[in-house]
Structure 1
Amino acid sequence: MTGGDLLTVRGLVAGYGAGPVLHEIDLTVARGTIAAVVGANGAGKTTLLRALSGTLRPVAGQVVLAGEDLRGTPVEQLVRRGVAHVPEGRGVIGELTVDENLRLGGLWRRDRADARRALDEVYQLFEPLARRRRQHGHQLSGGERQMLALGRALVGRPRLLLLDEPSLGLAPRVVAQTMALLRHLRDSTGLTVLLVEQNVRSALSVADQGVVMSLGRVVHTAPAARLRDDDDLRHAYLGF
């Protein structure tokens, strides 16, 4: 399934002004796997994804993607290098149609033929979007907006998907479908996913690796199955 580490983070420090939120974060994500970052509210999970995606400039540390140090790389260049970030709240542009939203994900791509193929693949993957391609983003349900945000990221054919709270506000059935989709993408395309998720049970059910954060630090890393079975750790940091 894997071919070495795709993402390596060393000594990452980041914050928003007065002081750091992230303290010396070290983690690795193997190629073609799903790593779930879990922890209580305020643990620094969203800040981690922002620092990795370039929307928040780290104070110190290294972010290495496939052997390439990404420090100081602008957001648009990170996208070209295969990093896609789907933020919490999904970021769908309500005034644009489904088709227009999806095409935004591939505007930067030079291979126009493959960009069209990627768009067709997203419509095959998300049939409700194909039926609603002329409708505007604000007309979609929460689950459909989640599909659209994911689909827009996938049109760019990323190597690394940074996914922040995909289950937020969704019905349990839609959450289960979303997690099943991530597993399918990992298995069928080799996509590597760093998943931040408050729904710990769902995240660990689909992940290969679990990363537990507390107060801006990584406090434990283990195979997801082992983390699910560690009662002491779950009670201490995950609340169940």
Structure 2
Amino acid sequence: MTLLEVKDLSSGYGAVPVLREVNLEVPQGTITAVLGANGAGKTTLLRTLTGLVKPTGGRVAFNGTDLRGCKVEDYVQRGIAHVPEGRGVVAELTVEENLRLGGLWRKDRADAKKATDEVYELFEPLARRRRSLGHQLSGGERQMLAVGRALIARPRLLLLDEPSLGLAPKVTAQIMALLRSLRDSTGLTVLLVEQNVRSALSIADQGVVMSLGRVVMTTDADRLRDDESLRHAYLGF
């Protein structure tokens, strides 16, 4: 089943076009890695999918429902969570307060509390530092907090923008392993924008390569990872 369908999507900033007729399908319960050089349009794609950038053409459907006309705040309630580049942690709030933000809109307070407890189980460093302020955390802990806050909303689709940026290889491996575990154990669907191509392809089911605002290739992640000629042609290594 296709959970997210993007058809001929175009968008940009003012008069500057960035995305040009992007087509993309994300199957339910899979990890899709969006790859490409800086300036390819990857971040703009995620921002357009969550209403932060308004499309100038095309269509986005989530679970069969057209998202055109949705307010930004509606996306979370529909089951879409977005962790932007830079992690988005509120530096002046504690870990516990940051996590509480992820469940503010939820009416089921008991399940929101259960989801918070699950995040602490997933990320043991956060459990130990629940009363620490955001600015006191390491880069890896801030990334864990940003992902954890998104998970409290119990999304069906998680959009992640450069989760490994600035992190040590060991922490990057932990984040990637967590995403794979969530896919396998809960059926979470992930759309992952990542510069660390090898890490992304190690957990992804499919790879989408972008260049100059267009999708130039969509294929199985294994094929993209193992075929040297494809990597040279589309990813430069």
TM-score (norm 2): 0.99
Partner of residue 53, structure 1: 50
How many residues were matched structurally?
237
Q: Summarize deviations over 1:121-180 as a string: whole Å, max 9, x none.
A: 001110110010001000000000000000000000001000000000000000000100
Cα displacement (A) at 1:237: 2.3
Question: Would you say the 8 A contact 1:11–1:23 is kept in 2?
Answer: yes
Partner of residue 129, structure 1: 126
C-alpha separation between the residues in 2 aligned to 1:156 and 1:203? 24
Partner of residue 103, structure 2: 106
Question: Would you say the 8 A contact 1:106–1:115 is kept in 2?
Answer: yes
Cα displacement (A) at 1:29: 0.4
Cα displacement (A) at 1:231: 1.9
> What's the Cα RMSD here?
0.7
Partner of residue 148, structure 2: 151
Q: Summarize deviations over 1:72-110 as a string: whole Å, max 9, x none.
A: 211111110011000000000000000000010010011
Which of 93, 105, 109 pairs up with 1:96?
Answer: 93
Question: Would you say the 8 A contact 1:83–1:158 is kept in 2?
Answer: yes
**2:100 partner amino acid:** R
Cα displacement (A) at 1:235: 1.0
Partner of residue 40, structure 2: 43
Partner of residue 14, structure 1: 11
**2:154 partner amino acid:** R
Q: Summarize deviations over 1:197-232 as a string: whole Å, max 9, x none.
A: 000000000000000000000000001000112222
**1:10 partner amino acid:** K
Partner of residue 190, structure 1: 187
Partner of residue 163, structure 2: 166
Partner of residue 61, structure 2: 64
C-alpha separation between the residues in 2 aligned to 1:125 and 1:232? 38
Question: Would you say the 8 A contact 1:40–1:237 is kept in 2?
Answer: no
C-alpha separation between the residues in 2 aligned to 1:41 and 1:181? 26
**1:231 partner amino acid:** E
Which of 163, 176, 194 pairs up with 1:179?
Answer: 176
Judge which range, 209-218 or 222-231, deviates more: 222-231
C-alpha separation between the residues in 2 aligned to 1:173 and 1:19? 38
C-alpha separation between the residues in 2 aligned to 1:19 and 1:130? 44
C-alpha separation between the residues in 1 aligned to 2:233 and 2:91? 40
Cα displacement (A) at 1:55: 0.8
**1:84 partner amino acid:** A
C-alpha separation between the residues in 2 aligned to 1:239 and 1:121? 39
Cα displacement (A) at 1:30: 0.4
Question: Would you say the 8 A contact 1:35–1:208 is kept in 2?
Answer: yes
Cα displacement (A) at 1:17: 1.4
Is 2:142 the counterpart of 1:142?
Answer: no
C-alpha separation between the residues in 1 aligned to 2:191 and 2:40? 16
TM-score (norm 1): 0.98
Q: What's the secondary structure of 1:163's corresponding residue? A: strand
Q: What's the secondary structure of 2:73's corresponding residue? A: helix
Which of 73, 76, 82 pairs up with 2:73?
Answer: 76
